[in-house]
Amino acid sequence: MSIYLHKIIPLIVSPLFLYLFIIFCGIFFRSRRIIIIGTLTLIIFSLPIISYKLNKYLEKDYILEEVSNIKEADAIIVLSGMVSRIKIGDKLKYEFGGAVDRILSGMDLFKNKKAPLLILTRGNLPWQYGIPEGEYLKKFATKFGIPKEYILMTDNVQNTEDEAKSVKNILKIDNPNIILVTSAFHMHRATMIFKGENFNVIPFAVDFLNSSKVTFIDFIPSASALDGTSNFLREMIGRLYYYFKYRL
C-alpha cells in the first residue's frame, strides 16, 4: 500500500493536477478569471526555462566526477531506475532509458578497483512486468566483463529507502563506506536516506539533466518541460519527507 501512496501523492501536487483543479474551480464558480489563472499556471510550468532552473537546483551540489578521483570503498551501490519493460503480445523486451549512466558508471568504478563489490538493486514495482531490474542489470554487467561472483543483489525493493535497508542487510558491517551511483537530481535524497541508515556515502552523480545553453526554444511550452517540472516537485516532496523522517 505504501508504494501506491508514494506514487499517488506526487501526482496530486503535480502541475497538471493543479491545473485541472483550478479549471474545475473556475467551471464550478463560473469564473473566467480562475480559468485564465489555471491556464497561465500550466503554461508557466510547461516552459523549458522554468524546468531547467528547477532541475538545475536539484543538481547544484554535484559535478561530473572522474573515476580516478573517487576514494576506495567497501562497495559500489547502483540504484535502480534505468530500465523500461516493453511487452508486445507474449514477448517482453528490456530497454535502457536516459539513466543508463548509472550501471555504466558502476561498472567503470568496479573495473577501476574502487570497491571489491558491485551491489545492484532488485527494483520491481507491483504493476511492472518481468524480472526485477537488478537481475537484468546483472546479466548486462557480466556480459561486459564483471565477474558474477562480485555482483550482489538486494531483495525485491520498491523505493530508495527499501534499497538502503536491503544493502545494509547484505553488508552486515558497521558504518560501511559506499560509493553511491544514481542520477544527479536524485542524489541528494538518496544520500540522505543512506546516511540515515548509517552508511558513509561517497556520491557519484550521473545522468545530469542540464547541460545545454538557453535558446529561444526554452521559452516555448512543451510536454517534456512539464514533465521536468513535475519531476522537481516529486523530488522536493521526497526530500522533505525524508528530512523529517531521519531528523525527528
Distance CA 99, CA 187 (A): 13
pTM of the predicted structure, to 2 decimals: 0.91
pLDDT at residue number 71: 97
Predicted confidence band at 4 (pLDDT cuts at 50, 70, 90)? low
The DSSP call for residue 144 is: T
CA distance 143 to 74: 23
Domains plus CATH for the chain? 2-60+221-245 (no CATH), 67-206 (3.40.50.620)
**Mean model confidence pLDDT for the chain:** 91
- Determine which of 111-115, 122-126, 172-176, 178-182 has the lowest per-residue pLDDT on average: 122-126
> Per residue in 151-165, pLDDT tens?
999 999 989 999 999
List the grid coordinates of 175. Answer: 558504518
| pLDDT of res. 187 | 97
State pLDDT tens for residues 55-90: 999 999 999 999 999 999 999 999 999 999 888 888
Structure confidence at residue 27 (pLDDT): 92
Tens digit of each residue's pLDDT (9 = 90 or more) over 92-137:
899 999 899 999 999 999 999 999 999 999 988 777 778 899 999 9
> What pLDDT score was predicted for residue 2?
58
Lowest pLDDT segment from 1-15, 92-106, 133-147, 193-207 = 1-15
Cβ atoms 81, 123 nearer than 8 A: yes
Selection from 189, 149, 155 nearest residue 169 by Cα: 155
> What pLDDT digit, counting tens, does each position of 21-35 carry?
999 999 999 999 999
Q: How far apart are CA 63 and CA 121, in angstroms?
A: 24
Q: Is residue 41 predicted with pLDDT exceeding 50?
A: yes
Is the pLDDT at 1 greater than 60, yes or no? no
Residues in the chain: 248
Does the pLDDT value for residue 206 go beyond 90? yes
